[in-house]
Amino acid sequence: MSRYRKYDGGDPLAPPVDLAEALDAIGQEVMAGYSPERAMREFLRRGGQDQQGLDDLARRIAEKRRDLLQRHNLDGTMQQVRELLDQAVLAERGQLARDVVMEDGDRAFRELQLDNLPDSTAAAVTELSTYDWTSSEARAAYDEIKDLLGRELLDQRFAGMKEAMEGATDEDRAAINEMLGDLNDLLEKHSRGEDTDEDFADFMDKHGDFFPEDPQDIDELMDTLAERSAAAQRMLNSMTPEQRAELMQLSQQAFGSPELMQQLARMDANLQSLRPDLDWGSSANFDGEQGLGLGDGTGAFQDLAELDALADQLSQTYGGARMEDVDLDALARQLGDQAAVDARTLADLEKALRSSGYLQRGSDGELRLSPKAMRQLGKALLRDVATRMSGRQGQRESRNAGAAGELSGGTRAWEYGDTEPWDVTRTITNAVLRTASETLVEQRGTSVSKPRLRLNMADIEVQETEERTQAAVALLVDTSFSMAMDGRWVPMKRTALALHQLIQSRFRGDHLQLIGFGRHAQVMEIEELTALDARWAKGTNLHHGLLLANRHFRKHPNAQPVLLIVTDGEPTSHLEPDGDVWFSYPPHPLTIANTVRELDNSRRLGAQTTFFRLGEDPGLARFIESMARRVEGRMVSPELDDLGAAVVGSYLGDRSASTYREQFGGWYGGDRGFWVG
């Protein structure tokens, strides 16, 4: 049998989760010093450009909770009882005044009883329980109080019972009492471990109509009842002592006898002993103007508990938190279906990030960006660099890196924007193989229709080219504390990753070495540099960085040396012959001399040198300009957002000026970092 229900998966035509946006945001946080796990949590918390995040959902949960408390109070049932009591007394006084046959003494006595009713509503209702009403209207109003109290008390424990028991007969009330007695017997038998599945089945066969939730076993039954009962207890806890006392006194009048309250109290005690882990002791401050009855108030406390649980789930601050922990059904109940769709999208995004290979755990158990994620992030940064470079020339992104060189013999699938020549043989072969696999052969050996060969975009392959000359590239990046302090840490890392991606994908024959220099220098892999935390040790040891760069150049004697230096300060430390670091601020002449000597060695090795000066310090500008002029290099002073474009452009220009002009249609103005078409 097929069962149909409302589709709750959101827009079926909506695009899949955007991993590119998430990965870019996570990469930014990682480069700023966050762990990948925390970076992912931050993205889920903020959400994407067109995607609500956990903070948005948590804010709406908090707003609904606040509105619930500020709009309602817990005096709704008492207000209704007072209104019915006033109605009954007023109708009785009117009847006494109109009754001309009643003896004066009897009338006076009844009026005296009504005049001396206690101020307490509960006490007045109790005192009138033995009053002999002369007005049928008054008697009906008073009986409605007892009926209302019974229905409200039942509604506290069984949602919807207030409406279901409206106009109930004595037989209906007897059935309720019988159900409660059997239920308490079953719960007590279960607490002793003496119940069986047959006991539960018999109970449901007899009283199942009272439980629309259709519990499948006694545990489900107890869970449903205990959550409601605990909410009723929290409501009682939240009342003032006077309200509690009046309610307890009034409860004895439910359905005209204390029997119902006794059974409900017995049930509450059984459920609390069976489910002690639920919240039975807290309270809340309802201070609004709209009164809630006992049943609605209990429902409000259930809503509060559900809202609190959702707030905890959405916070994701507990150990081992996952988006799959969020109760989507509860979220839909509280905030609507779209909120559940948004949370499910975030859960899908988290799952995709963990399962797609972008995040992986290292040997130490820490979550890290995988090589796949680094490549994807590098592509995004390189596209950003290309966009900035293109914007300066009025061109689109250039993808014909190496087109001026020789064919490498390799091919690859065509991508939008490629200008490399087609590999016709591979393209036609792909089309033939695809067409053959799609040809339908009729059964039992019947003739095969001749397929028509049509090219598909997926069939096209282009020939790869490569430069005839290779380059040995050393990118020296300043990792001193001033880079982190002045907001240059992340742009520096973005630049390194973009250059690394360009060389790995377009100039595979080139040799790139990344060198970070702070108080001392060290060669770094791209993953290491990307995850590098800010270093607060003082010192800018360009001398040590140049030593490592020149060692790299000597390892590749047949490659064109390209030296790229990103810094925001003058050299303040150098490496002594014994390996110790010498630090001095202001810069010591000995540090300057060692740095200049090693820079001269780079020039003798044939290095084409470009300095990228960050910051506006005039003294630094004069120093770097003199250094660049000494080795016939260049100084570029880019804005932070343009650093990547400046470094990549310089690399392309330095490795082959003719190729660079052919690819980018212009030359690079090194002193100010502008493009001329």
pLDDT digits (tens, 9 = 90+) for 156-191: 899 888 888 888 888 988 999 999 999 999 999 999
**158 vs 394 pLDDT, higher one:** 158
User: What percentage of the chain exceeds 90 in pLDDT?
Assistant: 36
Q: How far apart are CA 189 and CA 532, in angstroms?
A: 63
For 232-248, give the secondary structure using H, E and C. Answer: HHHHHHHCCHHHHHHHH
In 3-state terms, what secondary structure has residue 32?
Answer: coil
Please compute the mean of the pLDDT values over residues 109-125 and round it to a whole number.
Answer: 90
As a whole number, mean pLDDT of residues 547-561 equals 94
What is the per-residue pLDDT for 655?
A: 59
Structure tokens belonging to residue 156: 């506290």
Specify the pLDDT at position 12.
52
Cα separation, 481 vs 450, in Å, equals 71
Sole residue written with tokens 């060669």:
523
Average pLDDT over residues 123-134: 90
Is it the case that residue 394 has pLDDT exceeding 80?
no
Q: Which residue has the higher pLDDT, 440 or 639?
A: 639
The structure tokens listed for 671 are 């002193």
Protein fold of 470-676: Rossmann fold (3.40.50)
The mean pLDDT value for 231-255 works out to 88
How confident is the model over 289-318, as pLDDT tens digits?
A: 888 888 888 898 999 989 999 999 998 887
Q: Which pLDDT does position 664 carry in this prediction?
A: 37
In the chain, where are the structural domains located?
19-71+306-369, 75-285, 406-440+450-466, 470-676
Q: What angle do CA 517, 605, 590 make, to 5 degrees?
A: 50
Q: Where are the alpha helices (DSSP H) in 356-480?
A: 371-393, 424-438
Place of tokens 């259709």: 214
Name 599's bridge partners: none
Number of Cβ within 10 Å of residue 591's Cβ equals: 25
Residue that the structure tokens 């994807």 belong to = 376
Per-residue buried b or exposed e for 279-312, using 16+ beta carbons within 10 Å of the residue's own CB: ebeeebebeeeebbbbbbbbbbbbbbbbbeebeb
Return the SS3 of 611.
strand
The stretch 1-29 carries a mean pLDDT of 61
**pLDDT tier at 516 (50, 70, 90 boundaries)?**
very high
Report the amino acid identity of residue 24.
D
The token duo for 64 is: 């609904």
